[in-house]
Structure 1
Amino acid sequence: MIITPARSQAGTAGKSGSQFTGTAYPYLTMPATDGVTINTVDFTPGARTHWHSHESGQILQVLAGRGLIQSEGGPVHVLRAGDTVWAPPGERHWHGAAPDSFMVHTAISLGVTAWEIPVTDDEYAAAPLTEENER
């Protein structure tokens, strides 16, 4: 068993660049342990990850706000507090806050994360599904 006390979590200040577009506040909740990394990320409105995939998949738990997510070749979906997402191994995707909302999620990443290129403004602005169509 490994316990990571809150006082030792590696929170960071606002971070732009790297694997984010816009300002995001990532907090390393649990450093890589047996191929599992857990991060809680606060996204400011419009902030998002770059395209990426996970060797063994990723679980996202949306804690607050409203966000967007897209898998390569698929539609943009709206995320809301309480939603849980499973991204299967190797699925290329991105996620972040809606243009008019903050979003906080906990990301459980399994295996190595392969970071890629930024999501373009056009990709980000693609019309999300309406609530009636997505559920």
Structure 2
Amino acid sequence: MQIQPQKPTSLNPEEQFPGQVWVDPIVAPQTDDQRTTVAKVRFAPDARTAWHHHARGQFLHVTEGIARFGTRDGHVVDVHPGQTISIAPGEEHFHASSGGTFMEHIAILEAADDPAETTTWLEQITDDDYNGTPTD
């Protein structure tokens, strides 16, 4: 058993996270046979990610505010504190804060066989993508 030291908060890069989005790492692989990464991610009002997908999918547990998630087919949902959304492997999506407030979620994902292929970043979402009509 080992207690991990707290890692510093970092501001995510603007090209992947327009607006201000901070991340606090919680869990990272410690050995070659571990794949899981967990982080607390905080979005300023109306901040968002670019389109992206994950090789092994992702789970996002909303802890504060309202999170907006969208997929390429135009499906947009607002997710509230205490709810978890599951993103399928390879599904292109975005996450964002919604409702003009801060939003925080816990992000959980597993690394791909080649860690460089865990997350593939694509172009920025448009305001139309972000402002789609949510279906809760």
The bucket for the TM-score relative to the shorter chain is: 0.7 to 0.9
Structure 2 counterpart of 1:114: 120
Any unmatched runs of 5+ in structure 2? 112-117
Residues 17 and 49, structure 2, Cα contact 8 Å, conserved in 1: yes
Q: Is the 8 A contact 1:51 1:115 kept in 2?
A: yes
SS, match of residue 22 in structure 1: coil
* Structure 1 residues not aligned, in runs of 5+: none
CA distance in 1, matches of 2:2, 2:18: 32
- Once residues 77 and 28 of structure 2 are traced to their aligned partners in structure 1, the CA distance between those partners, rounded to angstroms, is 29
Please state if 1:20 is matched with 2:26. Answer: no
In 2, the alpha carbon distance for the partners of 1:81 and 1:54 equals 23
Match of 1:93 in 2: 93
Measure how far apart 1:79 and its partner are.
Answer: 1.1
Letter in 1 for 2:119: T
Flag the structure with higher strand content. 1
How far, CA to CA, are the matches of 1:10 and 1:32 in structure 2?
Answer: 17
Q: What is the root-mean-square deviation of aligned Cα atoms in Å?
A: 1.7
How far apart, in 2, do the equivalents of 1:50 and 1:74 lie?
Answer: 15
The residue type paired with residue 18 of structure 2 is: T
Matches within 5 A, 1:1-135: 3-6=3-6, 9-12=7-10, 14-15=11-12, 17-33=14-30, 34-111=34-111, 112-129=118-135, 134=136
Aligned 8 A contact 2:70 2:129 in 1: no
What is the Cα deviation at residue 80 of structure 1?
Answer: 0.6
> In 2, Cα distance between the equivalents of 1:20 and 1:32?
24
Q: Distance in 2 between matches of 1:96 and 1:108?
A: 16
The alpha carbon displacement at 1:73 in A equals 0.4
Q: TM-score, normalised by structure 2?
A: 0.84
Counterpart Cα distance in 2 of 1:116 and 1:32: 25
